[in-house]
Structure 1
Amino acid sequence: MSVDTEVAERPPRWRVVGPGLVVAATGVGAADLVATLVAGSRYGYTLLWVVVLGTVMKVVLVEGAGRYSLASGRTIFEGWRSMGRWTTWYFAPYIVVWGFVYGATAMSSSALPVVALFPDLDLRWVAVVSGVIGLVLVWFGSYASFEKVMVALVGIMFVAVVGAAARTAPNLGEIVRGLRPAIPEGSLLYLLGLAGGVGGTITLAAYGYWLREKGWSTPRFMRVMRIDNGVAYAVTGLFVVCTLILGAELLYSANIALSAGDRGLVDVSDVLEERYGTAYHVVFLVGFWAASMSSLIGVWSGVSLMFADFVGNLRGLPPGAEETRTGGRLFRTYLLWLTFPPMLLLLLDQPVGLILAYGVLGSLFMPFLAVTLLVLLNRRSDDVPAQWRNRWLSNGLMGLCALLFAALAANEVRTQLAPYVGLW
C-alpha cells in the first residue's frame, strides 16, 4: 500500500467517532430508559454496577462484529451463511416479523412525548407522521447526512437526560457504593434485563454495515473502529447511568411507581415539572423524543442494510452491490416494510400470534449473535487472519455474553409462552 493511500485511509481525528455512536444511540430507546428508571425506582443505586457490566458487554459484541467485518472484508450475514443454512432459516422469519412489529412500536414511542407536549394531537396520527419522517430522512439522505442527524439527536437526548440528572443533585457516595456488585432479593430479572438493555439488539450486528457505508472497510481502520466503539458506548453508558440516577433520586426516595410501558417516561417528566418547573418537563420530553426518534431512524437505516444484504446474498449479487447499499432498491424495499404495514398495528389490536413470534424470535437474537461471533472469530479459516481472531479475554467476555443472553432468552420465551401452554 502506498503512502498516499495510507494517508487517504487515515481519517482526521475529529471524525473518529461515527458509526459507533449511531449503533449505540439506535439501541437505547424508550423501553431501555423505562427499564433503567424502574430499576432505579425499586433498588436505588444498588444495580448501578449492572449498567457498567451491560455497557462492557455491548462494547465486546459490537467490537467483535466490527472486527469481523474489517478483518474478513465480509458482512456479518455472509459470515452467518458460511456456518450453514440454519442461520438463514432463523434470520429470514426474524427480520420480517421483527421489522413489522418494531415499526409500530418505534412510531408509537416517538409519538408519545410529542402528544405529552401537545395533548390535542392524536397519538396514532403523530405516530404515522413520525414513521414517514423517518422514511423520508433515510430514503433521500446519504449515510453522511443520516450520521449527522443521529449525532444531533444524541446531543439533544444527552443534554436533556444528563441535565435532569444533575439537577437532582445525586448522592455521590451512594453512586460509588452502587458500583459494588450486589444482588438485592427479587432483583434477578431486573438485573438480567438491565444488563441486556444497554444499547441494542439486532442493531449491534448492523455496525459492520455502517462501517462500510462510512468507508471504513479494511483492517487499517481497526484501531479507529475500536476508539469509535469505546467512545460511543462510554457516552451511552453515562446516559443510562443518568437515567438510573433519575429513577433513584426522583422515584425511589419518594416511593413513586411508574406507569407501564413508554408512558413511564411521561411520569418522570411530570415529577420533574412538579419539583423543578415546566422547563425541565419540556426539556426531558424533548430528550425522550430524541431517544425514540434516534432509535427509529437508526433501525430504518441499519436493519434495512442488513435486509438488503440478506436478500442480495440469496440472489447471488456481488458483495457490496449498489442494490444492497444505502438508497439501493433492496434497501428501500425494507424501508417501506418498516414504515407502512406496521401502521395497521397502530389502528388495530395487535394480533396475539404475531406478538408471540416477535417476542420469541427477538429474545433469541442476542445469544445467536454472541455464539456466532464466537465461532466466526475463532474459526481457523481464510476469513479472519490469525492476528484478528479472538484472544482469551475476548472469548471469555463473549462467552459471558452468550450465557447471560441465553438466560434472558429463556426467561422471555417462558414469559411469552406461559399464558398459552399453562407452563411455569
Structure 2
Amino acid sequence: MPAEEIQGGTRPQMRRPTWKLIGPGIVVAATGVGAGDLVATLVAGSKFGYTLLWAAVIGCILKIALAEATGRWHLATGRTIFDGWRSLGAWTTGYFAVYVVVWGFVYGATAMSSSALPLQALFPDTMELKYWGILTGLLGLAFVWSNRYAVVEKIMMVFVGVMFLVVVYVAIRVSPDLGDALTGLAPTFPSGSVLYTLGLIGGVGGTITMAAYGYWINSKGWTDIGWVRMMRLDNRVAYLTTGIFVVAMLIIGAELLHSADLALAEGGKGLLDLDDVLADRFGTVTSKLFLVGFFAASFSSLVGVWHGVSLMFADFAAHVRALRAGGREPAGGVRERERSVPFRGYLLWLTFPPMVLLWLDRPFGLVITYGILGAFFMPFLAVTLIWLLNSSRTPGEWRNGWLSNGLLAAGAVLFAVLCVEQIRDLPW
C-alpha cells in the first residue's frame, strides 16, 4: 500500500509527549540487556578500566537511532517492519524465516540458562541448573500466554526498576573514581581492545528485539505519525536508562576487577564470579541483591523475547498466508495476533525444543552462539531501515535526514565488522 494512501490526506493530530506513557522503549531496552551483555561490559571494565567508557556512550546513541527508525517506519506508514522487508523482495522473507527459527532455538536455551543461574545461586542445594532453566522457561511461557502487552509492559517496568537500582547501588558502593571515569569519554584504543570496543558499541541493548519495538508501540495504541514525538521521548529515555546501566556495570568491572586483576568466566557464569567478589568485599546482603538484579536482567530478556519475537513471527505467518491466498495485506492487527496460533506456536518453539540443549555439558557456550546469531541480524536491520526510510515507501516528510542516515550507516558497518570478528574469534 503506497504511503500516500495510508496517510489518507489528513494529518494526524500531533500528541504531546508525556512521561506517563513511557513503556515500549523500556521493554525493548530491557529485553536487549541480558547476562551475556552484562558480562561483556564487566570484562571490558576489568581489562581496560574506564578507557572504553566512550564506546558505551556511542553504543547507546546508535541504539536510539535504530529504535527511532523502526518506530518511525511503523507510525509514518502504518505498516509493520516485516511488511516493509517483504516489499524489498522475497529474499528478506527467506532470510527472516531461517533466522527466526534457528535464533529462537538457540536463544530459548540461552535465556533459560541465564535466568536459572542466579536462582541456583540464591537457593543452593535445591535443583540442578537445567531444572531451574526449565522452570524459568515454563514461567515465561505461562506469563506471556495468559497476558496481553499491557501486563507484559508493567512487569517489565518492575524488572527494569529492580535491575537498575541494584546495579547503580553496587556501582556507588564500589566508590568510583569520577576523575578517571571522565577521562574514559575521550576515544582511545588500548592494545587488544578492538573487539571489546566493538562489543560495547554494538552488543549491548538488543538484536532482533529492536525490530520488535514497532510492534510494541502499536500494542500501546500508538498507530499513526501523531505519536512520533511520544515515541521519540520513550525511546530516548529507555536507552539513556540503559546507558546509565551499562556505565554502572563498567564502573563495577573497573573498580572491583581491574584494580584487583581478576578475570571472569564466560557467559552468565561470570556474574556468579562477581557475586563471590561482592560477598567478600561488601557482605552477603549486597551479593544477594546483585543476584536479584542479575535475575531481573535475565528474566526480563526472556519475557520480552517470548512476547516481542512471537509477535513478529505471527506477523510473518499472517503475510505468508495472505500471499498464498492472493491478498496484498494480511487481516488483523497486533492485538489479534497476541492470541493467534502462530504467536502461541512460536512461544512453544522458544520454550520446549531448546530444553534439549540444557543437557549439554557446557550450557554457557550457548551465549557465544546466540551473540553470533544476533550479530548477523543487526547489519540486516540497519541496511533495510536505510533502504525503507529513503524510498517512496515512506512519506517524504518522514524519510531519513542526514543524521539518521549517518548513524544507521555507521551502525551497519559496525555490526558487520562485529559479526566477522565474532566468527573469527570462535574456537574452530
TM-score after normalising by structure 2: 0.92
The match for 2:269 among 257, 263, 266 is 263
Q: Distance in 1 between matches of 2:86 and 2:239?
A: 29
For 2:3, the equivalent position in structure 1 comes to none
For 2:173, the equivalent position in structure 1 comes to 167
**1:87-236 matched pairs, under 5 angstroms:** 87-120=92-125, 121-236=127-242
For residue 52 of structure 1, report the CA deviation from its aligned partner.
0.2
For 1:47, the equivalent position in structure 2 comes to 52
Structure 1 range deviating more: 135-144 or 327-336: 327-336
Tell me the number of residue pairs that the alignment of Structure 1 and Structure 2 aligns: 410
**1:15-414 matched pairs, under 5 angstroms:** 15-120=20-125, 121-316=127-322, 318-321=330-333, 325-348=337-360, 361-379=373-391, 381=392, 383-414=393-424
For residue 363 of structure 1, report the CA deviation from its aligned partner.
2.5
Q: Distance in 2 between matches of 1:28 and 1:18?
A: 16
Change (3 A) 1:323 1:313: farther
Change (3 A) 1:344 1:356: same
Residue identity in the other structure for 2:64: V
Conserved? CA contact 1:157–1:287, under 8 Å: yes
Conserved? CA contact 2:18–2:230, under 8 Å: no
Q: Distance in 1 between matches of 2:311 and 2:236?
A: 23
Change (3 A) 1:374 1:258: same
Gaps of 5+ in 1: 420-424
For residue 409 of structure 1, report the CA deviation from its aligned partner.
1.4
For 1:422, the equivalent position in structure 2 comes to none
- Calculate percent identity across the aligned residue pairs: 59
Conserved? CA contact 1:61–1:370, under 8 Å: yes
Residue identity in the other structure for 2:59: G
Change (3 A) 1:241 1:330: same
For residue 412 of structure 1, report the CA deviation from its aligned partner.
2.5
Change (3 A) 1:53 1:14: closer
Compute the RMSD of aligned alpha carbons. 2.1
For residue 172 of structure 1, report the CA deviation from its aligned partner.
0.6
TM-score after normalising by structure 1: 0.92
Conserved? CA contact 2:219–2:334, under 8 Å: no
Conserved? CA contact 1:324–1:331, under 8 Å: no
Conserved? CA contact 1:359–1:413, under 8 Å: no
Conserved? CA contact 1:94–1:358, under 8 Å: no
Q: Distance in 2 between matches of 1:142 and 1:99?
A: 21
Residue identity in the other structure for 1:106: A
Q: Distance in 2 between matches of 1:303 and 1:350?
A: 26
